Amino acid sequence: MSLAIPNGLDNTVERPGERAPLVLGDTTYHDITETVCRVAETKPSKGWVIGFLVAFALFQWLGICIAYLIYTGVGVWGNQSPVFWGWPIVNFVFWVGIGHAGTLISAILFLFRQEWRTSINRAAEAMTIFAVVCAGTFPGIHIGRAWLAFWLAPYPSLNLWMWPQFRSPLLWDVFAVSTYGTVSLLFWYMGMVPDLATFRDRSKNKYRRMAYGILSLGWTGSSRHWMRYEKAYALLAAFAAPLVLSVHTIVSFDFAVSQVPGWHTTIFPPYFVAGAIFSGFAMVLTLMVPARSMLGLEKLITIRHLDNMCKIILATGSIVGLAYGTEFFIAWYGQVPDEQYAFINRAFGPYWWAYWTMVTCNVISPQLFWVKKFRTTPWIIVLITIFVNIGMWFERFVIVITSLSRDYLPSAWAYFTPTWVDFSMLIGSFGLFFTLFLLFCKLMPVINMAETKSTLAKQYHMAHASGDQSAHEEKH
C-alpha cells in the first residue's frame, strides 16, 4: 500500500481563499470514466480472486452452521439461563451499526452539500445494504423456529392471538430495520442509474449489455432525465436522513425499555447512534483504504477524504467515551444499588477483560487521530479502524452479556461461554459481508462517476476564475 500522495499533491493543506482539490492530478472527465469502468471491465486480479474465495468459503460455512442450528436447535449456541440473548443479538446490533455510515455519507452530507462525499458514497451505501443483510440474518434464526419467522410480520390472520405484540421493541426492530434497508437500497440504486448506463454503453458482451441496460432503466442522459433524477435523489436523501437517527434509536429500545440493570437508561438512544456512526465510518475506512490502492483509485479517493473521515471517527469516538463515563456517573448519582453494581461488575467483574478491551479500542485508539500524520498515513488508518471495529463488537458484547449474566437474583448468576457455533457464525457473517462487497467492486461502479465529474467541473471553474484573477492583478 503506497504512502505517497499521487503527483506529490497533499490536498489536506488548507490554503486561504482556496478550496483543496478533491480530484488529484491532471485527471479529466474521460480519466474518471476509464478509471472506474476499468475495475469492472478487466479480469479480476489474483488478490481479488483469493479474497473472494476465502470470503465465499466463510459464507458457505455460515450456511452450514445455520442448517445445523435449524436441524439441531438453539442449544448449539452458548445461550442458557440467564443469558438467553447471546452472540446472535450482539452480532445483530453490531451489523446494524456498521450500516449507518452509508446513509450518513450519502444523505446527510448530500443535504449539507459536502462535496468530499462524492468519491466514497457509493461504496459506503453498498456497505449499508450488505451490513443490513448480515444483521437481518440473526433475528430470523434466533427465534428458534426459523421457519416461523414470518410471524413477526403483521399479516392478516383469523388466529388473532398470533398477531405480533406491537408494544414490544423487538417488533419495532422489524419495522425499523426493514424500512432502513428498503430506503437505503432504493437510494443506492437510484444513484447508480447514470453510471449503469455508462457501463451499458461500454459493454462489449451482449449479456452484460442486456443486464446493465435493464438496470439503467432506459437512461439517455437527457436534460429531462437529469432533472427527474436530481429531484428523486434529493427526495430519497430527505427520507433517508431521519433514518440515521431513528433506526439505532429503536434498536437501543430493545434494551432501554427493559428493567434489567445496566440497560434501563435514557442515554442509550444518542449513545447507540454515535456508536453506530463511529463503527460505520471505521468499516468504510477499513475497506476503502486497501480498495483505493488495489483498484488504482488514489486520484479519486484522496488523502483528504481519508483525513475527513478520520476526523469524524475522532469526534464520534470522543462522544462514545463521554457516554461510557456518563453511564457510571448516572449509576452513582441515581443511588440505585442494582444499577451501581451492574456498572462496577462491567469494569471489575468476571468480564473485566471485555470492558477494558472496549475502552482501549473505542476511547484510546481514536485519540491518535489528533495527530495529522496518523490521519494521512493509510496503513495506520487501517490498523486503528480495525481496532475500532473490534472495540465496537465488544461494546455490544459488554452491554448484552454482562447485564444478563448477573441480574437481580444472585442464585441465577452464570458465566456465559460461547460455543464453536457462535464463533463460526460471527466469522461466517464477515464472509457474507466481504463476499457481497467484492462482488459489488467487480460488477458495479465502485465510485459515483457522475457526481465526481461534477466536482471536477467545479475545480476547473475555480482554477479558471483564479487564473483570470491573477491575470487581472498582473495587468493592473
pTM tops 0.85, yes or no: yes
- Work out whether the CA dihedral 111, 112, 117, 123 comes out positive or negative: negative
Does residue 287 register a pLDDT over 70?
Answer: yes
For 274, the grid coordinates are 454515535
Residue 80 backbone phi and psi in degrees, to 5 = -155, 165
Instruction: Indicate the range of 166-180, 187-201, 451-465 predicted with least confidence.
Output: 451-465
Q: What is the mean pLDDT of the chain?
A: 86
Specify the pLDDT at position 146. Answer: 79
Specify the pLDDT at position 350. Answer: 92
Residue 83 backbone phi and psi in degrees, to 5 = -95, 80
Specify the pLDDT at position 200. Answer: 92
Specify the pLDDT at position 465. Answer: 63
For residues 190 and 457, which has the higher predicted lDDT (pLDDT)? 190
Specify the pLDDT at position 4. Answer: 40
* C-alpha angle 107-188-443 in degrees, rounded to nearest 5: 145
Asked, for residue 152, whether it belongs to a domain, the answer is: no
Specify the pLDDT at position 476. Answer: 47
- CA distance linking residue 269 with residue 256, whole number of Å: 8
Using alpha carbons, select from 69, 76, 135 the residue that is nearest to residue 393: 135
For 452, the grid coordinates are 465526481
Task: Give the model confidence (pLDDT) of 76-117 as tens digits.
Answer: 888 888 888 888 899 999 999 888 878 888 888 888 888 888
Asked, for residue 211, whether it belongs to a domain, the answer is: yes
Place of cell 440497560: 263
Task: Give the residue-averaged pLDDT of 280-299.
Answer: 89
Residue 80 pairs in a beta bridge with 83
For residue 302, give every residue at least 6 positions away whose Cβ sits within 8 Å of its Cβ, in sequence order, or none: 5, 6, 11, 21, 22, 23, 24, 119
Q: At what angle do helices 223-256 and 169-202 cross, to 10 degrees?
A: 150
Side chain identity at residue 180, one-letter code: Y
Asked, for residue 274, whether it belongs to a domain, the answer is: yes
Burial profile 225-253: b = 16 or more Cβ within 10 angstroms, e = fewer: beeebeeebeebbeebbebbbebbbbbbb
Specify the CATH number for the domain of residue 171. Answer: 1.20.1630.10
- CA distance linking residue 319 with residue 366, whole number of Å: 11
Asked, for residue 123, whether it belongs to a domain, the answer is: yes
Asked, for residue 18, whether it belongs to a domain, the answer is: no
The 8-class DSSP code of residue 21 comes to P
Specify the pLDDT at position 5. Answer: 42
Round the CA-based radius of gyration of the chain to a whole number and report it.
24
Specify the pLDDT at position 430. Answer: 95
**Residues 391, 358: contact at Cβ < 8 Å?**
yes
Length of the chain: 476
Containing structural domain, residue 354: 29-147+163-468
Asked, for residue 329, whether it belongs to a domain, the answer is: yes
**Residues 302, 22: contact at Cβ < 8 Å?**
yes
Of all residues in the chain, the percent with pLDDT exceeding 70 is 92
Task: Give the model confidence (pLDDT) of 299-357 as tens digits.
Answer: 888 888 899 999 999 999 999 999 999 999 998 998 888 888 889 989 898 999 999 99
For residue 217, give every residue at least 6 positions away whose Cβ sits within 8 Å of its Cβ, in sequence order, or none: 193
Does residue 6 register a pLDDT over 50?
Answer: no
Using alpha carbons, select from 446, 449, 426 the residue that is nearest to residue 288: 446
Query: How many domains does the chain contain in total?
Result: 1
Q: 87 in the Ramachandran plot: left (φ > 0), alpha (ψ -120 to 50) or beta?
A: alpha
- CA distance linking residue 247 with residue 131, whole number of Å: 13
Asked, for residue 8, whether it belongs to a domain, the answer is: no
Asked, for residue 19, whether it belongs to a domain, the answer is: no
For residue 433, give every residue at least 6 positions away whose Cβ sits within 8 Å of its Cβ, in sequence order, or none: 95, 130, 131, 133, 134
Task: Give the model confidence (pLDDT) of 36-86 as tens digits.
Answer: 899 888 888 888 999 999 999 999 999 999 999 999 988 888 888 888 888
